[in-house]
């Protein structure tokens, strides 16, 4: 994996299966155009935040569930070609089981990738605004934390640096974390074997002094996080 398309969107709870079927249909086309993996993860434990949160990110309405999703590509060129071909193929206007105008998306270059790819039973999703000048410090900080999470049961940890993150009319990644002009949005996730493993892992991590012996090189008050259950992973 050398490039990632990241997405966050809100889907009406009753349209879960329709959304999953749509994603599976799209998966075949993305794979045909070079994608390595597509993951769709359904919001399970998505807390409200004081400053930012996933629900506010996509202006979620009552009864809507947050979906955290990504597509992995071997390189940016393959991703660009895939998106161009998909756009050309989508000539028929179709009704979608969610509001695409509130979906946020962008291209990200992997900054850290620790562990092994698996088929996780649970996923932690994160967004964070990081001072662009602190990229190296952030990479080192998160690489150290990734090793601790792997020690406590995670199977894979990925941090991806914003590379092609467009400004949207209604919502976008920068607005999601209230990023300023000197900050870059990071799209990250942690893969766990199960929700139980995730809960036990975080409990161990947060009680370990090694998780707290460094100052965060970003504003944690504007970071967004949540727990998600995969509904598509191929």
The residues with which 30 forms a beta bridge, in sequence order, are: none
pTM, full prediction: 0.96
Are the C-beta atoms of residues 218 and 131 closer than 8 Å to each other?
Answer: yes
pLDDT tens per residue across span 124-146: 999 999 999 999 999 999 999 99
Find all residues with CB under 8 Å of 198, minimum gap 6, and list them: 122, 124, 153, 154, 190, 192, 227
pLDDT tens per residue across span 151-183: 999 999 999 999 999 999 999 999 999 999 999
* Total number of domains in the chain: 1
Residue that the structure tokens 């870059």 belong to: 184
pLDDT, residue 117, reads 86
For residue 73, the enclosing domain spans 3-233
CATH number of the domain at 168, please: 3.30.70.100
pLDDT tens per residue across span 8-63: 999 999 999 999 999 999 999 999 999 999 999 999 999 999 999 999 999 999 99
pLDDT, residue 91, reads 66
Q: Which of 3, 33, 1 is nearest to 162 (CA)?
A: 3
């Amino acid at each position: 994996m050398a490039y990632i398309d990241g997405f966050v969107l809100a889907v009406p709870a009753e349209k879960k299966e329709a959304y999953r079927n749509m994603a599976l249909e799209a998966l075949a086309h993305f794979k045909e155009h070079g994608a390595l993996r597509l993951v769709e993860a359904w919001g399970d434990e998505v807390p409200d935040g004081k400053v930012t949160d996933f629900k506010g990110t996509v202006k979620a309405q009552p009864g809507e569930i947050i979906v955290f999703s990504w597509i992995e590509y071997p390189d940016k060129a393959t991703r660009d070609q895939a998106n161009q071909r998909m756009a050309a193929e989508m000539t028929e206007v179709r009704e979608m089981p969610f509001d695409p105008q509130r979906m946020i998306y962008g291209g990200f270059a992997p900054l850290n990738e620790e562990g092994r790819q698996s088929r996780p039973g649970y996923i932690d999703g994160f967004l964070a605004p990081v001072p662009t000048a602190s990229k190296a410090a952030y990479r080192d900080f998160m690489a150290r934390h990734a090793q601790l999470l792997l020690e406590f049961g995670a199977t894979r940890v990925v941090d991806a640096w914003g590379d092609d993150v467009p400004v949207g009319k209604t919502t976008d990644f920068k607005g999601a974390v209230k990023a300023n002009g000197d900050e870059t949005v990071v799209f990250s996730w942690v893969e766990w074997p199960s929700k139980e493993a995730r809960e036990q892992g975080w409990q161990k991590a947060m009680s370990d002094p090694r998780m707290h012996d460094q100052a965060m090189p970003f504003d944690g008050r504007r970071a967004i996080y949540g727990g998600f259950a995969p509904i598509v992973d191929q």
